[in-house]
Homo-oligomer: A and B are copies of this chain.
Amino acid sequence: MAKINTKGETARSPRSPKKTSQASRPARRPAAAKTETPYHHGALREALLQAAERVLERDGLAGLTLRAVAREAGVSHAAPTHHFGDLTGLVSELAAIGFRQFNAAMASACDEATSPLERALARPKAYVAYAQAHPGMYGLMFRTERLDYSRPSLHEAAESSFAGLANAIGALRQEPISGDALTIEQGAAIARAWSMVHGFTMLLLDGRLEDILERLPAGTTAEQLLEAILKSTVAAKFPT
């Protein structure tokens, strides 16, 4: 509400107010002098996505508007339209980036695991850790209704995330999971794991686990609660 907007709608710093003829600007967009802000940005699309990520993590989902992103990038409010079509487009592309970060974080966590038990716990722990480190991004990926999964980049990134999960469950059950057909037991195992971790994450981010955490022995963290849940779930598979 009330958004002061202290710097005016369009805020490209060193732009002469009118009649910017091509004099007084370095010729041919020199990659060195970024401070001159050439008329044609040159990499606006990427700059907008980075600006959007900053706005998202700073102001939350509600603050992620087309105009705010444009302000953050220092261009006019309508500039994003040309690159993303509409807000759904920008948000979807940003979510795709989020999914890729997310997948990379889980993959690297799995790689670092040594024991079988560790490997089983690494993925869900990395899942929750990513969401805690990037709550805005996670909200963008799983809370917004404004995502267009028909966009190839988003579809592919989300699909890859799902495939990683399915493979992890397959490894845990020691039966490779086919790409096109699942038994009811396999489907239940995958859905259960995903539901549990996703639900835990959402409840945690929404502060709804506070009721539980504050009744636990003093100083118990969300990570410890998660670990207790996970261990009680997979304990049977890894006899101590």
Contact = CB atoms under 8 A, between A and B. Distances in A.
Contact of A196 (B143, B145, B199, B212): B199
A116 B164 CA distance: 37
A175 interface: no
B145 A62 contact: yes
Contacts of A191: 200, 203, 209, 212, 225, 229
Interface residues of A, number: 45
Interface stretch (A2-10, A45-53, A104-112, A176-184): A176-184
A81 interface: no
Contacts of A142: 202, 206
Nearest to A228: B188
Nearest to A199: B199
B60 A188 contact: no
A60 B146 CA distance: 12
Contacts of A197: 195, 199
A203 B195 contact: yes
A51 B234 CA distance: 47
Nearest to A212: B187
B224 A184 contact: yes
A216 B184 contact: yes
A131 to B, nearest CB: 12
B199 A187 contact: no
A225 B142 CA distance: 21
Contacts of A188: 225, 228-229, 232
Given A187-B225, A200-B199, A182 B215 contact: yes
B215 A180 contact: yes
Contacts of A187: 212-213, 215-216, 220, 225, 228
A225 B195 CA distance: 12
A189 B231 CA distance: 11
